[in-house]
Chain A
Amino acid sequence: MSTQDSTSPTVIQAPKPLPAQFVTAKHPDEETTATQAAPQQLERVPYPVATTPTVPQEVIVAPKKMALAPSANKNYKQKRTFKVIIVGDAGVGKTCLSFRFCCGKFPEHTEATIGVDFRERSCVIENELLKVQLWDTAGQERYRQSIVAHYYRNVNATVFVYDVTNRESFQSLNAWIRECEKHGLTSDSNSPRILIGNKCDLENGQEKVSMDEAQIFADQNNMALFETSAKSQSEADHVESIFLTLLHKLQQSKPMHVQTVDERQKSEQDRLILKASEAAKLEEEGFCC
Chain B
Amino acid sequence: MDEEYDAIVLGTGLKECIISGMLSVSGKKVLHIDRNNYYGGESASLTPLEQLYEKFHGPNGKPQPEMGRGRDWNVDLIPKFLMANGSMVKLLIHTGVTRYLEFKSIEASYVCKGGKIYKVPADEMEALATSLMGMFEKRRFKKFLCWVQQFDENKQDTWQGLDPHNNTMQQVYEKFGLDENTADFTGHALALFRDDEHKNQPFLQAVEKIRLYSDSLARYGKSPYLYPLYGLGELPQGFARLSAIYGGTYMLDKAVDEIVIENGKAVGVKCGEEIVKGKQIYCDPSYAKDKVKKTGQVVRAICLLNHPIPNTNDAQSCQIIIPQKQVGRHYDIYISCCSNTNMVTPKGWFLAMVSTTVETANPEAEVLPGLQLLGPITEKFISVSDVFEPTDLGSDSQIFISTSYDATTHFETTCKDVLNLFQRGTTQEFDFTKITHLSLQDNE
Contact = CB atoms under 8 A, between A and B. Distances in A.
A44 B96 CA distance: 29
Interface in A220-277: 270-277
Q: Which of B105, B238, B241, B254 has the most C-beta atoms of chain A within 10 angstroms of its own C-beta?
A: B241
B100 interface: yes
Contacts of B252: 143, 145-146
B401 to A, nearest CB: 19
B440 A120 contact: yes
A282 B247 contact: no
B251 A272 contact: no
Interface in A102-147: 112, 114-118, 120, 136, 138-140, 142-143, 145-146
A44 B380 CA distance: 50
Contacts of A140: 240-241, 244, 250
A38 interface: no
Nearest to A276: B442
Interface stretch (B304-312, B326-334, B431-439): B431-439
B94 A279 contact: yes
A54 interface: yes
Interface string A48-69: 0000001111000000000000
A138 B241 contact: yes
A10 B241 contact: no
A114 B435 CA distance: 11
Given A4-B247, A278-B93, A279-B94, A117 B437 contact: yes
B89 A274 contact: yes
Nearest to B39: A148
Interface in B203-227: 220, 226
A56 B253 contact: no
Contacts of A1: 3, 29
Contact of B90 (A5, A153, A273, A282): A282
Q: Which of A13, A55, A116, A275 has the most C-beta atoms of chain B within 10 angstroms of its own C-beta?
A: A13
A41 to B, nearest CB: 21
Given A149-B230, A273-B103, A274-B89, A4 B237 contact: no
B419 interface: yes
Given A1-B29, A56-B440, A146-B250, A273 B98 contact: yes
Contacts of B96: 276
A25 B247 CA distance: 16
A12 B5 CA distance: 11
Contact of B274 (A10, A13, A56, A289): A13
Interface string B20-59: 0000000001000000011100000001000000000000
Contacts of A54: 436-437
A115 B244 contact: no
Given A13-B276, A273-B98, A274-B98, A149 B241 contact: no
A169 interface: no
Nearest to A280: B93
A184 interface: yes
B169 to A, nearest CB: 21
A15 B412 contact: no
A289 B416 contact: yes
A5 B93 contact: no
A23 B128 CA distance: 69
A13 B442 contact: no
Interface of B: 1, 3, 29, 37-39, 47, 71, 87, 89-90, 92-94, 96, 98-105, 220, 226, 229-230, 233-234, 237-238, 240-241, 244-247, 249-254, 271, 274, 276, 341, 412, 415-416, 419, 432, 436-443
Interface of A: 1, 4-6, 10, 12-13, 15, 54-57, 81, 112, 114-118, 120, 136, 138-140, 142-143, 145-146, 148-151, 153, 182, 184, 270-279, 282, 287-289
Given A117-B245, A148-B237, 9 more contacts: A15-B254, A56-B439, A57-B440, A148-B241, A149-B234, A150-B101, A276-B93, A287-B87, A289-B416
